[in-house]
Structure 1
Amino acid sequence: MQRVTNCILIHNNRILLLKKPRRGWYAIPGGKMEQGESIKESVVREFWEETSLQLLNPEVTGVFTFTVHDQIDEFVHEWMMFTFVCHDFKGVLTEHCNEGILEWVETDKISELPMAEGDKKIFKHVLSKSGMLYGSFSYTREYDLLDERLDPYTS
């Protein structure tokens, strides 16, 4: 199972997002964990690689399982994602990111952006509640949401 980490950096009522070129969807900066790496080491490294910013005191806010299916019953692959939230950083944002375009977005505009449905649920939780969110999301290959289970439930 693949493991990934990402971080929602909130600063001055804005969130740093990555607009991916393939779909034009916004995503949370992060990426794949390396063998033997802790989830915190991974999120700090991945975030720095994409943004040139050093996260200060990121905290886990969600743990999720994602599955992708050809059809409802045909499993393709699965990964686990550890999502962090952070309010402090050091450094200067890079002008070029190989993964897409980095953009600071006002927190009240997040729900209007094109992104994966699961990410919308994660942002809703982070921006309106505290504590951990656990979940499982199932998608088609085209990333249409098939099913979700969240604890605590996020409508």
Structure 2
Amino acid sequence: MILTTMCYIQKDHQTLMLHRIKKENDINGGKWIGVGGKFEEGESAEECMRREIYEETGLTALKLQLHGFVVFPKLYHGQDEGMFVYTCWDFSGEIHECDEGILQWIDNDQISSLPMWEGDYHFFEWIQDSKFHSAKIVYENDQLIDYQESCY
């Protein structure tokens, strides 16, 4: 299983979103996503998340909140992907250009109109409560075919 992280950085009723339009052969090509990426050897989920936030945005995450874990069977080039979903409201620094796409602050009430992975819309529901969520999201040809969730 490939382990990854995803963070929705938030301020003033907005979320920093990444429009993935710069990389060739990008599994996320054309979609809006949070920032994040794959674990490096020896990293914890939080270490990975902090590093990815800094690399992709230039921001330093001061506090992170973990909302859940999701498994995507066979999504990543035929391998399962496990992803930790975070938010960050406390950060410092200035946003810089990202080589994977365009970073943009989006009003929270506009996020549902963005072209995203269908399962990602659920993560914004997760952010609204104080529960820990565990999910399995199955895609076939980029289409959501199964969503299972538990929360604690």
Q: TM-score, normalised by structure 2?
A: 0.89
Query: Following TM superposition, by how much is the alpha carbon of 1:19 offset from its aligned partner in structure 2, in angstroms?
Result: 0.3
Find out whether 1:47 has 2:45 as its counterpart.
no
Which of 65, 89, 92 in structure 2 is aligned with 1:90? 92
Deviation per residue, 1:24-69 (Å, 9 max, x gap): 2100100000111011000000111000000111011110100237
Which of 76, 79, 82 in structure 1 is aligned with 2:78? 76
| d(CA) in 2 for partners of 1:76, 1:4 | 15
Cross-structure match for 1:106: 107
Cross-structure match for 2:72: 66
Contact 2:7 2:34 in 1 (8 A): yes
For these two proteins, the number of residue pairs brought into alignment is: 145
Aligned residue identity for 1:92: E
Find out whether 1:147 has 2:152 as its counterpart.
no
Bigger shift: 104-113 or 128-137?
Answer: 128-137
Unaligned runs of 5+ in 2: none
Moved over 4 A (4+): none
Superposed counterparts of 1:124-135, under 5 Å: 124-126=125-127, 128-135=128-135
| d(CA) in 1 for partners of 2:99, 2:55 | 9
Aligned residue identity for 1:56: L
Query: Following TM superposition, by how much is the alpha carbon of 1:13 offset from its aligned partner in structure 2, in angstroms?
Result: 0.7
Cross-structure match for 1:28: 34
Instruction: Please state whether the residue corresponding to 2:120 is helix, strand or coil.
Output: helix
Task: Tell me the percent identity.
Answer: 34
Contact 1:58 1:84 in 2 (8 A): yes
Query: Following TM superposition, by how much is the alpha carbon of 1:76 offset from its aligned partner in structure 2, in angstroms?
Result: 2.4
Query: Following TM superposition, by how much is the alpha carbon of 1:8 offset from its aligned partner in structure 2, in angstroms?
Result: 1.0
| d(CA) in 2 for partners of 1:114, 1:151 | 25
Query: Following TM superposition, by how much is the alpha carbon of 1:149 offset from its aligned partner in structure 2, in angstroms?
Result: 0.3
**C-alpha RMSD over aligned residues:** 1.7
Q: TM-score, normalised by structure 1?
A: 0.88
Query: Following TM superposition, by how much is the alpha carbon of 1:125 offset from its aligned partner in structure 2, in angstroms?
Result: 2.3
| d(CA) in 2 for partners of 1:119, 1:64 | 10
